[in-house]
Structures are given as structure tokens and as C-alpha cells.
């Protein structure tokens, strides 16, 4: 029996390296080898630091914004959920890995029984009556062993463990992706509030201009120089500015509510923006490496790849189900009459019972499981390719907007400046009686609209840099010393 057991274990060791999972190969060809260049796309600056390697503390320049992001990373509930998902996946991996090793159990039993020792016939006239004596027996047994431990000859358990390991990796990448998205969302929400605050400031300044014009036209109408039509036209512009201010005040409150939700707590008043300001809120840097391989570092792409590898492993586990399952049950123990005889010489026992099982007719269950695993692997391939294609488009869109956003800001700045000068000249000509009031009113409205559009364009410029930073996978490092290589220690 011992020799047979040794032979079985030796055969198990020889077959332990068997793995029926298909060889993994990363899908290729889903996207071009290089990011778009030429035309509306900006040329990569050879001396620029790679955006994806810049720590978020270095990318965002405004100290208030950095404080808000730091608070959000500590309090955001989505990030806590992602961290909890990682812990769940790690716990599942520990459970799955436990099947690779036998479960050892120790048991102890005590049996108390009565044993009849003798019997005899009695004399007398009646029927024979048996007599005898009995003795109480105490039987103790202690064993340690394993029960139904599967010998993983064909890699079923190992592939299930590999799939669980890849699920852990995928959940960790999902956590990193959530972190990147959170940083970008907080920055965008902060810039949105800054833009709306700037629009509110502009509307209040314009209201004062329209108020002066309205006062002048009313005075002219009172003394008979102007008409009621001019008063009504001036009042229309004035009331429009009042309406804009009311709407923007509500919008700013909504912006703060959205920012508070992202951060996970109420943002301190001194950390909120008062406007876009003259200084940029982010570093103005383009990636030096325009090869699309940079997208393979994005956490969402890495997550999709880990899930694909997990499905490959599941195919191996499903294939292994077609082969025999060999299990081993064994125990080593001691048996004695009374506690004093439990560990005496000759009281030791052992049992070993290997078993082999192979379903002969399962009505297609194993075939169905294998087909399901293969179909899941095909879905995972398509998901991986779609994820990297989406990443490519996000970066390409950000670069396309980046290529022309500077021209838009410069043109809009010049337009707003010219409109302001035209409004001042028109107002002076109106007061001098050279131009009609309608010309002045139109110039004021044009200047107001140009200033509003300039604020919107400047916000688009800042938001574009944030989006480019996110799309390239930036935001994982907390700190960085910007140097020639543009690298930083990972968080």
C-alpha cells in the first residue's frame, strides 16, 4: 500500500506542470502605431516633459487646487469603493489559492461502551436464566489528516488561482483609473467654478456700464433730447445683465455643490477660485513621446488586459474538467483503551485512500462550460481592443483641440480687446452727438459677448490640458522633481 501511494505521488509530481490554458498573446493592430500628427495636431516638443510621467502635484500649479485634490483623494467615496474592491479581490484570491494545498484536520474522539463478559445457566425448576457480569470500556482515538485533496494534475486549480490573481491585478488597475479620473474631475469642476466666477465678475462689471447708459438715456428723455425707444433699448440690455447675474450666482452655487460631492466634504472657502486669474492653473506641457505605446500604460487598458488573461486561465480550467480528477484522503492516528494507552507502542494507525473520478455522461455540462469560457475570452479580447481604441480617440481628440486652442485664445483676446475699444469710442461719439444710440448699444453688447466668449475659450484651454493629462494616464505620482527624464517614483 505504501509503495502504491509513493508511486501515485511520484506520478502526480511529474504531471504537475501540465497546463491546458491557451498561450496568451497580447492583441495587436487595434490602433495605429503612432498618435496623429500634422494638420490640426500639434508637433511634439522634443524638450517637453512626458505628461503621463508628471506627478499631479507638479502638473497643477495653483496651491488651492492642489489642496482640493488632496482632500478629494482622502475623502472621495468612489475611491474608497475602488479600494474596497481591491481588498475583496485579494480575499477571493486567498480563498482560491487555499485549494492548491491540502486542508489538514485534527480530530479526537472518545467512545464509552458496555461489554458483557460471561453468562451461565441457573439450577431450579423454572426455565434457565442467564447470569453474567459486564465491564465499561473507554476507547480514545486521535487522528490528523487530509480529506479529498485534489491532485492538480491538469492545472484546473492552478488556472483558477491564476484567474483570481488577474482579478486582483484588474481591481488594482481599476483603483488607479478611478484615482486618475477623480483628479481630472476635481480639476475640471474647480476650473468650471473659476470660469463661472469670472463670468459673474464680467456680468457685474457690464451691469454697471449698462446702468450708466440707462441713467443717461433716461436723463436725455426727461429733458426731451432722447426718445423712449432709446430708454427701452438701454433697459433691455440692463435687465439682460441682471438676469445673467442671477443665473450665474445660482450656477456658481451648483458648481460648489458638484465640487463638494467629488471631494467628499465641504471645500474650505479659501480654497475656492474667485476667477480664472492671469496665472495658469496647470503646467503647459505636451508629451515628448507620441508613440501610441504610451496608451498601454493607462490603467483602464491594463485592467482590460488582466481580465483577458483571467479568461485565458478559465479556458484552461474548463479544459482540465475533461480529464480525470484524482483526490487523496489520508489520516494518521492513534487508538487506545483509556487515555493512558493512547500513545503506546502499537497504538498508531494510518489510512490512505486515493480516488479517481471521471464523469461519463454529464449531458454537455463540461462542453458548455468550455464553450462559455471561450466565448468569454472572445468578449475580453474585444473589450481590450475597444478600451485601447477609446484611449486612442481620447488622446487624439485632446491633441486636436490642443493644436488650435492657442490660436483661438489669441484671436478671442484680440477680438475682445477690439470690441472694448470700439464700445468706448462709440460711447464717446454718442455722448458727443456724432453716433446714434443704437450704434453705441450694439457696440456694448458686442463687447460683452466677446468678453464672455474669451472666458469660455480660456476655460476650454485649461480643461483641454486636464483632459490631455488624464487621457495619457497622468496623475498616479504624488510628487516629482521635473528633470530631463521627466520621471517620478510611483505612488
**Tens digits of per-residue pLDDT, 206-232?**
999 999 989 988 988 888 888 889 899
| pLDDT over 80 at 48, yes or no | no
Per-residue pLDDT reduced to its tens digit, 347-363: 778 888 888 888 888 88
pLDDT score at 411: 96
Separation CA 344–CA 340 (nearest Å): 8
Phi first, then psi: give them for residue 107, nearest 5 degrees. -135, 150
**pLDDT confidence band for 461 (50 / 70 / 90):** very high
DSSP bridge partners of 352: 330
Contacts of 187 (CB under 8 A, 6+ apart): 60, 65, 69, 281, 282, 466
Per-residue pLDDT reduced to its tens digit, 416-436: 999 999 999 988 888 888 888
The DSSP-derived string for 323-357 is: S-EEEEEEEEEEEEESGGGTTSTT-EEEEEEEEEE
pLDDT score at 434: 83
Per-residue pLDDT reduced to its tens digit, 384-395: 999 999 999 999
Indicate the angle between helix axes 63-75 and 156-222, nearest 10 degrees: 140
Per-residue pLDDT reduced to its tens digit, 305-348: 999 999 999 999 999 888 888 888 888 888 777 676 677 777 77
Q: What angle do CA 56, 61, 64 make, to 5 degrees?
A: 95
Please compute Rg for the chain using Cα positions: 40
Q: How many CB atoms lie within 10 A of CB 360?
A: 4
pLDDT score at 276: 87
Q: What is the 3-state secondary structure (H, E, C) of 134-173?
A: EEEEEEEEEEEEEEEEEECCCCHHHHHHHHHHHHHHHHHH
Separation CA 118–CA 388 (nearest Å): 87
**Which three cell numbers, joined as nine digits, stand for 256?**
460648489
Separation CA 418–CA 60 (nearest Å): 32
Separation CA 21–CA 320 (nearest Å): 9
Q: What is the DSSP letter of 120?
A: B
What does pTM read for this prediction? 0.83
Helix, strand or coil, per DSSP, at residue 112: strand
Separation CA 338–CA 463 (nearest Å): 82
Query: Strands 325-337, 104-116: parallel, antiparallel or unpaired by DSSP?
Result: unpaired
Separation CA 467–CA 473 (nearest Å): 10
Alpha-carbon dihedral angle through residues 482, 483, 489, 491, given to the nearest 10 degrees = 20
**Which three cell numbers, joined as nine digits, stand for 411?**
484671436
Q: What letters, b where the CB count within 10 A reaches 16 and e where it falls short, cover 238-273?
A: bebbeebbeebeebbeebbebbeebbbeebeeebbb
Least confident of 27-31, 90-94, 377-381, 399-403: 27-31
Place of cell 492642489: 66
Strand order in the sheet with 104-116: 104-116, 134-151, 325-337, 348-357
**Which three cell numbers, joined as nine digits, stand for 248?**
450665474
pLDDT score at 11: 54
**pLDDT confidence band for 3 (50 / 70 / 90):** low
Closest CA to 134 of 147, 148, 118, 145: 118
pLDDT score at 16: 53
- Domains along the sequence of the chain with CATH: 14-103+158-197+241-326+367-471 (1.20.1600.10)
Q: Residue 324, exposed/middle/buried by CB under 10 A (0-12, 13-18, 19+)?
A: exposed
Q: What is the DSSP letter of 31?
A: S
Closest CA to 189 of 251, 280, 279: 251
Per-residue pLDDT reduced to its tens digit, 262-301: 999 999 999 999 998 878 888 876 665 567 778 888 999 9
| pLDDT over 70 at 491, yes or no | no
Cα separations (Å) of 164 from 161, 284, 306?
Answer: 5, 41, 10
Amino acid at each position: 500500500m505504501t509503495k502504491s501511494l509513493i508511486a501515485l505521488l511520484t506520478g502526480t509530481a511529474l504531471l504537475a506542470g501540465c497546463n491546458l490554458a491557451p498561450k496568451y498573446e497580447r492583441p495587436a493592430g487595434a490602433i495605429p502605431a503612432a498618435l496623429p500628427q500634422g494638420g490640426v495636431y500639434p508637433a511634439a516638443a522634443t524638450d517637453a516633459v512626458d505628461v503621463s510621467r508628471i506627478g499631479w502635484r507638479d502638473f497643477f500649479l495653483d496651491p488651492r487646487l492642489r489642496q482640493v485634490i488632496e482632500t478629494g483623494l482622502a475623502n472621495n467615496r468612489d475611491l474608497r469603493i475602488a479600494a474596497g474592491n481591491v481588498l475583496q479581490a485579494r480575499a477571493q484570491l486567498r480563498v482560491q489559492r487555499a485549494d492548491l494545498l491540502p486542508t489538514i484536520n485534527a480530530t479526537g474522539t472518545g467512545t464509552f461502551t458496555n461489554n458483557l463478559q460471561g453468562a451461565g445457566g441457573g439450577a431450579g425448576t423454572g426455565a434457565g436464566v442467564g447470569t453474567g457480569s459486564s465491564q465499561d470500556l473507554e476507547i480514545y482515538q486521535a487522528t490528523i489528516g487530509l480529506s479529498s485533496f485534489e491532485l492538480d494534475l491538469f492545472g484546473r486549480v492552478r488556472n483558477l488561482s491564476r484567474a483570481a490573481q488577474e482579478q486582483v491585478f484588474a481591481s488594482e488597475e481599476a483603483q488607479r483609473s478611478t484615482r486618475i479620473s477623480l483628479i481630472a474631475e476635481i480639476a475640471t469642476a474647480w476650473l468650471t467654478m473659476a470660469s463661472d466666477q469670472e463670468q459673474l465678475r464680467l456680468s457685474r462689471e457690464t451691469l454697471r456700464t449698462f446702468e450708466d447708459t440707462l441713467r443717461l438715456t433716461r436723463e436725455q428723455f426727461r429733458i426731451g433730447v432722447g426718445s423712449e425707444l432709446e430708454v427701452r433699448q438701454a433697459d433691455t440690455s440692463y435687465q439682460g445683465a441682471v438676469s445673467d447675474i442671477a443665473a450665474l450666482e445660482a450656477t456658481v452655487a451648483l458648481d460648489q455643490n458638484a465640487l463638494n460631492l467629488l471631494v467628499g466634504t465641504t471645500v474650505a472657502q479659501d480654497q475656492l477660485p474667485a476667477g480664472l486669474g492671469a496665472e495658469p492653473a496647470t503646467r503647459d506641457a505636451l508629451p515628448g513621446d507620441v508613440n501610441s505605446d504610451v496608451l498601454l500604460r493607462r490603467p483602464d487598458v491594463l485592467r482590460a488586459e488582466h481580465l483577458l488573461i483571467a479568461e485565458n486561465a478559465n479556458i484552461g480550467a474548463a479544459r482540465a474538467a475533461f480529464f480525470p480528477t484524482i483526490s487523496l484522503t489520508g489520516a494518521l492516528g492513534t487508538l487506545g483503551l483509556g487515555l493512558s494507552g493512547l500513545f503506546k507502542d502499537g497504538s498508531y494507525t494510518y489510512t490512505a485512500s486515493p480516488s479517481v473520478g471521471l464523469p461519463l455522461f454529464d449531458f454537455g455540462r463540461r462542453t458548455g462550460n468550455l464553450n462559455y469560457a471561450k466565448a468569454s475570452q472572445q468578449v475580453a479580447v474585444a473589450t481590450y481592443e475597444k478600451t485601447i481604441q477609446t484611449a486612442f480617440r481620447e488622446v487624439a481628440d485632446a491633441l486636436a483641440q490642443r493644436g488650435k486652442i492657442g490660436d483661438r485664445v489669441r484671436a478671442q483676446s484680440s477680438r475682445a480687446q477690439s470690441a472694448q475699444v470700439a464700445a468706448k469710442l462709440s460711447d464717446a461719439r454718442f455722448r458727443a452727438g456724432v453716433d446714434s444710440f443704437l450704434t453705441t448699444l450694439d457696440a456694448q453688447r458686442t463687447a460683452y459677448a466677446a468678453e464672455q466668449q474669451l472666458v469660455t475659450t480660456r476655460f476650454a484651454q485649461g480643461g483641454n490640458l486636464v483632459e490631455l493629462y488624464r487621457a495619457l494616464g497622468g496623475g498616479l505620482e504624488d510628487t516629482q522633481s521635473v528633470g530631463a527624464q521627466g520621471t517620478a517614483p510611483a505612488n
